[in-house]
Structure 1
């Protein structure tokens, strides 16, 4: 079979298609004939700096859709030929992918394989940020960094469906702001001026919930944009800044709080919690609450181009690799 592999860390050009043996499912696993694989920012960080990479060579790819090829010992509720989506953690850039059965999800009615590949990472992440961790209540205001990205596209729609009083976003260009405004956002601010714009839009009050994948100074500014009793959820460090610290001086005076989330870590330490979260999140697509547009699609050997597009911060929505989808 063909698979994309890296032998060293570096730019998109190090993503190489290689011939590899077809995996067999271990106990508690299935193998999947891949139709599509999602492209995520974590894949770029794995390729460039070894994020969540245990050893080289390494195959990137957090999520895949396709049909079950084989079922390992002890697996129930899944069968050969069944259409599924799976959160893999790594290895999804391949024609055949092994996945834990606990993180493999039969497709709900009405969801095709192309759409399904966009769901296992982005959708549960956005749902957890808003509901399980952010605990959004009807009438509250939300600010989402990266509003035009995959998580941002879903978060805007989920917040609107949950009855948010206002949904604000931050984007890096006018084109991205326009895209976000079409997907649930009331106003979208530029990265340089968002703290002032938040205060203007809220009459000086601030927002109840901030979702931040950027870290560094952006996170600190987001903390300052919170209202009294506001919550900030950090779910990444795209800025590459030094790890941040927050404590009594920032939190105590106005009762603010900070939480964090990583779907990769959740999958490792609490797979059943991930499964429950994903099932709740997937229902929002099958019932029409959320749509996650696929804005660009690449062949497997075009993985470097997909990474260049995402790395250039010009992409919106969701990017996919087409493996066996046609």
Structure 2
């Protein structure tokens, strides 16, 4: 293997000052590991948070940034079965993806869906898993219900729009940019609503006063607060994250009066805490991918030489959907 580049975080800082693109020497895989020649990596908001020390998972410094990506198997460690040199694979792990050469546990790999290019293959797994655990496992979304998806023009939200439509729900998608929202219609969004201002009134109007049966909220802050004003009686409010920066609080008497549930969703942690569920969930997601339910919304592609610029673009929300770092050959 040739000398390669890797985007590494050496110290925690709010301005990416501790992140640099370094030349590194690849190492061979240990037992149970697979060496992957990465072709692309997709950014997620936790990637940014981890460089600040603001995420639940805090990898030891220095660490290679990037939770998901895709590439080609170049070597397998002792005891690895199911993968061989030359296989095209998707990768989902806690870090390590923005590099020419990377090592992952064999369980972090899955096959690239047939006919997908590298940017698409890099950017679908975390969104699909989060959407499935949220809407199916935790939220129990049913056909005929109304699903309100916040942050719908982001990678997590777009996956929820796609799955909600596939499950037979009426999907109301919110976002701040009208042109970005329009890209969600082909993905299954029934109604597009601006998240600026009193979106809760529009949701109530669109549902004839009933409100949303399920709310998918990766935003938090004011969006969460307003969602409690348009959730249906007996609805489910899914807490995915706090991209807005403010962690909201809630009056318990309001939950009582409207009899709704507030449900936390940590999709990866769900599988770690309930490993027996993993084969079924992963099998269902694979089936949905094969049916064409999931396909990421790729909003921007940066070369690896501009990987830090890609992180800044994510921070400033400069593109819809997934921001992808194209890696190519070392």
- What is the match of residue 135 of structure 1? 140
- What is the match of residue 88 of structure 2? 83
Question: Is the Cα contact below 8 Å between 1:153 and 1:317 reproduced in 2?
Answer: yes
Distance 1:229 1:325 in 2: 52
For residues 1-326 of structure 1, what are the structure 2 equivalents within 5 Å? Answer: 1-8=4-11, 9-12=13-16, 14-51=18-55, 52-164=57-169, 166-191=170-195, 192-242=197-247, 244=249, 247=252, 249-266=253-270, 268-270=272-274, 273-274=277-278, 276-324=280-328
Deviations 1:187-231 (A, max 9, x none): 222222211111111121111000001123322321332111100
Question: Is the Cα contact below 8 Å between 2:42 and 2:119 reproduced in 1?
Answer: no
The Cα RMSD (Å) is 2.2
SS in 1 for 2:257: coil
Question: Is the Cα contact below 8 Å between 1:215 and 1:237 reproduced in 2?
Answer: yes
Question: Is the Cα contact below 8 Å between 1:102 and 1:271 reproduced in 2?
Answer: no
Deviation at 1:274, TM superposition (A): 4.5
Deviation at 1:257, TM superposition (A): 0.9
Deviations 1:75-97 (A, max 9, x none): 22222221111111111111112
Question: Is the Cα contact below 8 Å between 2:128 and 2:294 reproduced in 1?
Answer: no
Distance 2:86 2:251 in 1: 49
Stretches (4+) displaced over 6 A: none
Q: Any gaps of 5 or more consecutive residues in structure 2? A: none
Deviation at 1:145, TM superposition (A): 0.5
Deviation at 1:266, TM superposition (A): 3.7
Q: 1:184 to 1:13 in 2, by over 3 A?
A: farther
Deviation at 1:175, TM superposition (A): 2.2
Deviations 1:35-54 (A, max 9, x none): 11111111111223442223
Distance 2:40 2:168 in 1: 33
Q: 1:2 to 1:270 in 2, by over 3 A?
A: farther
Q: 1:94 to 1:172 in 2, by over 3 A?
A: same
Deviation at 1:67, TM superposition (A): 1.2
Size of the alignment, in residue pairs? 324
Q: Under a length normalisation based on structure 1, what TM-score does the superposition of the two structures give?
A: 0.91
Q: Under a length normalisation based on structure 2, what TM-score does the superposition of the two structures give?
A: 0.90
Q: 1:242 to 1:108 in 2, by over 3 A?
A: closer
Distance 1:114 1:200 in 2: 38
Question: Is the Cα contact below 8 Å between 2:224 and 2:248 reproduced in 1?
Answer: no
Question: Is the Cα contact below 8 Å between 1:36 and 1:325 reproduced in 2?
Answer: no
